[in-house]
Structure 1
Amino acid sequence: MIEAVLRYVEERFGIPREIFNGFRFFSRGRDVWIVSEDVPELKHINRMGLRFARGGAENPKLTTAVIQIFGRHATRNTVSLDDEQLSRYLRGEDVEVGEVPGVERGQVIVMYGEDALGSGLYDGRRVKNQIPKARRIVSR
C-alpha cells in the first residue's frame, strides 16, 4: 500500500520521491503514516508520526497537514487562488476557478502564492473544499 500511495503522489502531483528521503512510512489499516528516520522505533507507543494519507491504495487522499508541508513541491494538479478565492476557501466554501489548463479532474492541491493550503476536488470549473471544519476560518 505504501508503494501505491507514493506512486500516486508522484504521478498525480509530480512530487518527487526524493522529497521523502529522511522519512520512513508505515501503514495502519487503510492509512499511511510518515515519521522522521531520526525517531527511534518505540515498542510501547501506539502511534507516532503524521498521518500521510487515508483511503488505502485504491483511493488515497493526502491529509491537509501533509499537503501544507510537502505541497509546495507539487508540479502538477495544483490550483492557485486569488485574494477573493482565498477568503472563500478559508471559510470552507467551494471556489469557482473555471477551466484550469493542465489540471485534471479529481484531487488537487490548493495554492496561494508559494503556500500549499490544502486539498480540493476539482470538477473542471470549481474546487470543492476539503479543508477540515476545525481548520476553517469563521467570519462573524
Structure 2
Amino acid sequence: MDGLLAVVRPLCLALPEAHEERAWRGVRWRIRTRTFAHLLPIEGGHPPAYARAAGTDGPATVLTFHSAGAELAALQHSGPRFFDAPWGPQIVGMVLDPGPEVDPGELTELLTESYRLLAPRKLAERV
C-alpha cells in the first residue's frame, strides 16, 4: 500500500484545503468533514464489506471515491477493476493492486471529480 499511498497522497493534497487523516483502516482525504477519497488494504477478507464489494479476499489495495452522472455510469460498466460501493449511491471503488499499473492522469481526474462533488462551491471552482 505504501507505493500507492505515495501516488495518491500528492494528488489529493494538491486540492484546495484538502487534508489527510488516518481512517479506521487505511488513509482518507477530506474536504472539511467530507471524505472524498479513501485508500485501504483488503487482507484475509477484511474489511468484509470492502472484500465483498471488490470481489476479493486480498491481498489488495482499493481506493473509494465519489462520482456522478455519465462518469459514474461509465465506471459502473467498465469491468472488474471498478466496483459499486454498497454504502453510498455515488461511491465507487477501484482495485489498484493487484492490477495493471495505475495511470496518474486517470487517478487525478477521478480524485478531482470526487473532490468537486463534495467541496463547497467556491473551493470546487478553484480546480
**TM-score, structure 2 normalization:** 0.31
* Structure having the larger proportion of residues in helix: 2
Please identify the structure whose Cα radius of gyration is greater: 1
**TM-score, structure 1 normalization:** 0.29
